[in-house]
Structure 1
Amino acid sequence: MAFWLTAFALSAIVAALLMRPLLRRGKAAQSDHAYDLQIYRDQLSEVENDLGRGVLSLDEAERTRVEVSRRVLEADRALQAETLAKGDDQRVSLGAAAVVAVLVFAGGFLLYQQIGAGGAPDAPLKLRIAEIDAQQAARPGQAEAEAQVGDITAMADQVDQTYLDLVAQLRKTASQRPDDPRGQALLAQHEARLGNFAAAWKAKARMIELLGDQVKPSDWTDVAELMIIAAGGYVSPEAESALGRAIQGDPSAPRARYYSGLDLAQNGRADLAYRLWSDLLAEGPDDAPWIAPIKEQIGDVARMAGIGEAMPGPTADQVQDAQNMTAEDQQAMIRGMVAQLSERMASEGGAAKEWARLITAYGVLKETEKATAVWAEAKGKFA
């Protein structure tokens, strides 16, 4: 209810501002001849005063009275005719004002029905953060994600039967010696080769459990990667936890950072994902296994983060060219898009939403000084 009252009040203010010139114009035009008539009547009074003071002779006073009286009659007739005409004019102005009011209220309501959410509750920052946390907590777990994906096509029909027999023997040995970390590591490796990624990550997780303090950060990355592949590319809470352990042990680990960026992108933090992936592209090398998937996805992530959103998206040829660029060239292309937006805003201006996108883009690019300068300029324009 508070929202609708506020919306009604704002609409009323806008309607009043638009209607005011229409109503004032009619009133101003209606008073012109009445003003002239008052002037002529004042002149008649002045003639009598001048005659009494001896300024005018009797003949001069009479001639002046006749002339001014004629003007009074003309002004009166004009006023009466104008009153009729202006009455119609005023009705037109009132009608136009009424139409403006209807358009403001009805147009605003219909537009809000299209793009708004009238039944949505208030969404203060605390509530939105709580909702995000709830959504995070409600994400499907690893087992549920694997069930939704179904069986990933294994490679058992593409390998030699001798190798399959050896893997079967390895499974039997690993089940008989469940506390042997080396056996679990070998089992994880060969299950992954056969495309049995769910079995592979479970064996790898068992190896990690057995190694205890001897676990390396890359082991955590391995198990997270296997989980993600088994879930069809989805980063489950369990995989996210494993990535956290990997980065905690080695904050510079590129493979873990790549998958962490994927996790962030899947959970509404494209801005952070873009920063992670941009750094990885800059670090290279170009033949690293995570560079190609980053190049394929970073354009979409950049648009989700607000970079280049105010400009037309890249063509199919540009996307293809971007995939063949080096990390430095791709970074330069993105910065060029932001620079073009900045130049256009400086020369042509833009809506508040476009200024916000430019500020966000500079923030994602870690150019905080430029973001602060644009923020100050935007405040001056929209204050």
Structure 2
Amino acid sequence: MTIWLFALLLTAIACATLYYAGAGRRVNAAASTADATQEHFRAQLRAIETDAAMGRLGAAEAVAARGELAREVLRHKASDGPRGGTRLAVWLPVILVAAISLATYAWLGRPDLPAEPLASRVAAEGEVTLESAIETIEARLAQAPDDLRGWTVIAPAYMQLGRYADAVNALRKVNELGTPTADTLTDLAEALMMQQGGSVEGEPLELLQRSHALDPTHVRSLYYVAGEETRAGQYEAAIRDWNALLKLSKGGEPWVVTAQNGLAFAEQGLNPSAAISAEPDQAQIDAMVDGLAARLTAEGGTIDEWTQLVRSRLVQGRTDEAQAAYDAARKAYPDAAERNELDGVAADNGLVAR
């Protein structure tokens, strides 16, 4: 009932406004115009009398001039008389507007519906989300399974949503339908690694080696290959590939520190005596890293400190602790824009966002 009273009130206000605008009320400007018109007629009459007195008009001509002026005054009075037709012309549209408005709302309106949140209204108007975009592309691919561009577009979207099995399928299609490149092979290897919980063993390593063979200067594949060689104890190959990778650096890349640490670890592995002599220093480093981890866990810290901790754990080979540190850092810094370097380190080393 309240909504109807509100609608009637608004309609009444609108109708009153229309009537006031069109009813032809005399305001100050109209009164001023009427006074000016009367003064004009008086001036004309005085002019006629003056001309007659000065002999410029004869008696007959003066009578004719007065008669013409009288007729002009009568015509003006007739045109300014009662305007019943005008009032009808004003009231009729006002009544029609009110009747049509109320009838239309009674037919189409739903005052019983609750207010809808803005977010729902925006979504209802067709807001494009990542999920809806994926559904659209999937529908097109179902009709055209050989659409290379469609598979290329949808694969990274699957990776972003953590749908690694779908990403693997899409990237296999990309490599089947197009000519495999170092990038497409490495993309497939990374999707398989994510599906395997970060492990490079098996098909991912084979794909990375193929990628490196296609392009020896391909940074991503060389990074993974060198890291797996180091883990497997193939220190000579690891030293060769870490050095090759560092030569490709232009300075400042997020993987440089990890590559330098990987090279140092491989060199120590190749020369056990050097590793023994370095044991005290390594123990000190481990103690420092543990101290950093304890402080960040207890007190928190900057994003750079969290990134340093994750890198250090990876160099130590303590992947589970690196993953735990990465999880803690993501909670401390939920804004992805602040975690660019950290997320890059995590992705390069198979850590999973969860």
TM-score by length of 2: 0.40
